[in-house]
Every structure is written in C-alpha cells, then in structure tokens.
C-alpha cells in the first residue's frame, strides 16, 4: 500500500474509533436516566412544555434510528468492497 493510502487508513481508524467511543458513551443514556428523575417533580411540564419535550424526544429517537441505518449501510458497503 502506498504511503498516502496508509495515511488514509490511519485517519479512518481514528474517526471510526472516535465515533464508536462517542456512540458507546451516548448508549449509556445517563442524561436520559437523569431526565426520568426530573420529570416526576410536580409541575414539571405545562402543556406547551410537554409538546416540546415530546417533539425533542421523537426527533432524538428518529436520529438514533438513522444513525443505526447509516452505520449498517456503511458496513454493508465496506463488505462489498472487500468481496470484490
């Protein structure tokens, strides 16, 4: 492999590792566990705040699904390159 290709691999390894670590940390869900405690306090949400919270949570769930699909698609594409 040429030196430039080696640099590409090293850069990809750094990015893949950093993203994997970030997703693993995100997967712990500690901030959402804290949120579960907070929402139980009396008067936490007005009807408007409830709507905002639902919208944010729904968006976050959609983004998680998209991240999972994109990761699976990336892996599937990488496997196709290796098989050829």
Asked whether 67 and 23 are in contact (CB, 8 A), the reply is: yes
Q: Provide the pLDDT confidence category of residue 82 given band limits of 50, 70 and 90.
A: confident
> For residues 37 and 14, what is the distance between their CA atoms, to the nearest angstrom?
36
Tens of pLDDT along 34-60? 999 999 988 888 899 999 999 999 999
Report yes or no on whether pTM surpasses 0.85: no
Handedness of CA 58, 59, 62, 67 (dihedral sign): negative
């Amino acid at each position: 492999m040429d030196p430039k290709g080696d640099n590409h691999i090293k850069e990809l390894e750094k990015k893949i590792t950093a993203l994997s670590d970030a997703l693993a940390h995100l997967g712990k869900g500690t901030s959402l566990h804290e949120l579960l405690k907070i929402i139980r306090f009396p008067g936490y949400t007005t009807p408007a705040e409830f709507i905002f919270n639902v919208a944010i949570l729904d968006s976050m769930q959609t983004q998680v699904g998209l991240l999972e699909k994109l990761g699976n698609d990336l892996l599937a594409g990488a496997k196709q390159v290796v098989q050829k």
